[in-house]
Amino acid sequence: MPALHMMSHTGQAITLPHDLLQKLASHLRGALLHQESEEYEHARQVWNGLINKHPTLIACCHDQNDVITAVNFARTHNLLLAIRGGGHSVAGHSTCDGGMVIDLSRMNHVSVDQAARVVHVEGGATLADMDQATQAAGLVVPAGAVSDTGIAGLTLGGGIGWLRNLWGLTCDNLLSADVVTADGQCITASHTEHPDLFWALRGAGGNFGVVTRFTFRAYPLKPDVWFTAVYHDGRHMKEVLQFYREYSATAPDEISTATVCGQIPPGSKDFPPELHGRPYVMIVGMYAGSVEKGQQAMQPLRDFRQPLIDFSKATTYLEAQQYFDEDYPAGELRYYWKSLFLAELTDDAIDTLVDHASRQPSPLSGIEILYSGGAVARQDDDACAFAGRKASFLIFVESNWKETRDNDANIAWPCNLISDLQKGGEGSFYLNFSSAFEEQESTMRHNYGKKYQKLMAIKKRYDPTNLFRLNQNIKPG
């Protein structure tokens, strides 16, 4: 390996000599990649095609010792450091230019204790890794809904999926986490060990260390579930959203749903040609329980109005988890997402959504409105760092497009929509659906409100030099 020119976390140039790098490589079980390595080009890429960065070193960790070695190296040499789990950070936080990436994607083992209903998940596993292992034992852990997303980023930011109203957020079901902190120590955080760190890990992102293993509570769920997917003409968006608001308020906790507004993709083989390119508003969701009960409980969603098309059906939980997979190809599209938690979905908010939906610059983009209540809302707001628990609706605006020349319009669209919705400055954003725009400290302070001081103190305790800074960053207090 040649000597390498790198970037420190303060932006200074550093040269690391050959023998130092050789020594690091010899201490790692996994590969240490640099720009001349064969696997480098593939390894440097992340999911969002808008992010095109070139880290100087990528430490492909195989176990916790590799993570400790890499963290110690980065700290000792003041390197700019990014941590990568599933690589799905919309803001591109899991890579950097000129620094070092600690890549956990090979650490994707999941083990299930069926009798105790406890699941251990390594820090680089994806939703698919966890869902397959848990369903093989007749269990589930509440998580998100696109199967190649990383468990690590998802859990540390919250974790919102089809089981939320019944069993809560992913972070609500975290029992403990093994964390490599900035000083290279490995500690376990739980309700009884390092409870302050455990509190912060559940909702404030990757600020506090590298999680090498998550331990979750799991629940029994049979493989077959009822899945609803009803598409209406986009011209009826207002009416559908008003109906969705009323329906959600009284729906049982087993039901978790979203309303999605977008355009039927031209050329799609799933829709008849006469619908291609048409704006739609869709109600989609899952019943966490028996197929029969689900079909019955979700029937009002199918009876409302005459839909354009109704794809509702009995399916497996694993398929429901992949329903949207094809819409988010890795590396092929550019993505810029923003979000806002709203206490209520008022008629004014619906009018704003309808107005902006008609001006969406890319046919691949969309707006999602998610009702969140049940187990999420019943949990005490102070139970963990997560911001937005008491809001009933999450508005999620996703710009997805192909060409660089369209960047400006597609970045402006979600920003304008959210700023119009946020008239009085109220509402927090969802860490996991945020692009780089939200990074300023003032926005983070606003987002976490009175929790922010506590987060700064915990950051100071576990990462006083802000080694873990490539995230929605909390400055050491």
Ligand X SMILES: Cc1cc2nc3c(=O)[nH]c(=O)nc-3n(C[C@H](O)[C@H](O)[C@H](O)COP(=O)(O)OP(=O)(O)OC[C@H]3O[C@@H](n4cnc5c(N)ncnc54)[C@H](O)[C@@H]3O)c2cc1C
Binding site for ligand X (CB under 6 A): 47, 82-90, 93-94, 104, 123, 144-146, 149-150, 152-154, 156-161, 205-206, 210-211, 328, 432-433, 470-471
335: alpha, beta or left, given left = phi > 0 and alpha = psi -120 to 50?
beta
Compare residues 286 and 357 and give the one whose CB is closer to ligand X. 286
Compare residues 88 and 451 and give the one whose CB is closer to ligand X. 88
Compare residues 352 and 432 and give the one whose CB is closer to ligand X. 432
* Cβ-proximal residue to ligand X, closest one: 153
Cβ neighbourhood burial of 200 (10 Å; 0-12, 13-18, 19+): buried
Compare residues 158 and 289 and give the one whose CB is closer to ligand X. 158
Compare residues 150 and 374 and give the one whose CB is closer to ligand X. 150
Note the Cα 212 to chain centre separation in Å: 17
Q: How far is the CB of 473 from ligand X (least distance, A)?
A: 9
185 within 8 A of 118, measured Cβ to Cβ: no
Q: How far is the CB of 115 from ligand X (least distance, A)?
A: 27
Q: How far is the CB of 173 from ligand X (least distance, A)?
A: 13
Q: Tell me the β-bridge partners of 369.
A: 259, 395
Instruction: For residue 149, report the phi and psi dihedrals to the nearest 5 degrees.
Output: -70, 145
Interatomic CA distance for residues 288 and 3, integer angstroms: 55
Q: How far is the CB of 25 from ligand X (least distance, A)?
A: 22
Q: How far is CA 396 from CA 141, 166, 261, 334, 368, in A?
A: 23, 21, 11, 16, 5
Compare residues 69 and 352 and give the one whose CB is closer to ligand X. 69
Residue 418: its H or E element:
helix 407-421
Q: How far is the CB of 19 from ligand X (least distance, A)?
A: 29
140 within 8 A of 79, measured Cβ to Cβ: no
Compare residues 79 and 470 and give the one whose CB is closer to ligand X. 470
Instruction: For residue 240, report the phi and psi dihedrals to the nearest 5 degrees.
Output: -65, -40
Cβ neighbourhood burial of 278 (10 Å; 0-12, 13-18, 19+): middle
Q: How far is the CB of 453 from ligand X (least distance, A)?
A: 22
Interatomic CA distance for residues 83 and 71, integer angstroms: 10
- The strand pair at 174-180 and 210-217 is best described as antiparallel
Q: Is the dihedral of CA 383, 249, 164, 138 positive or negative?
A: positive
Q: How far is the CB of 80 from ligand X (least distance, A)?
A: 12
Radius of gyration from C-alpha coordinates of the chain:
22
Q: How far is the CB of 233 from ligand X (least distance, A)?
A: 26
Compare residues 64 and 352 and give the one whose CB is closer to ligand X. 64
Tokens of 218: 């799991």
Interatomic CA distance for residues 127 and 135, integer angstroms: 12
Q: How far is the CB of 179 from ligand X (least distance, A)?
A: 8
Interatomic CA distance for residues 17 and 2, integer angstroms: 7
Compare residues 74 and 211 and give the one whose CB is closer to ligand X. 211
Compare residues 189 and 357 and give the one whose CB is closer to ligand X. 189
Token pair 């976390």 in the structure block, residue: 9
56 within 8 A of 5, measured Cβ to Cβ: yes
Interatomic CA distance for residues 142 and 63, integer angstroms: 25
Q: How far is the CB of 34 from ligand X (least distance, A)?
A: 20
Q: How far is the CB of 45 from ligand X (least distance, A)?
A: 12
Tokens of 351: 């009018």
Compare residues 79 and 210 and give the one whose CB is closer to ligand X. 210
161 within 8 A of 145, measured Cβ to Cβ: yes
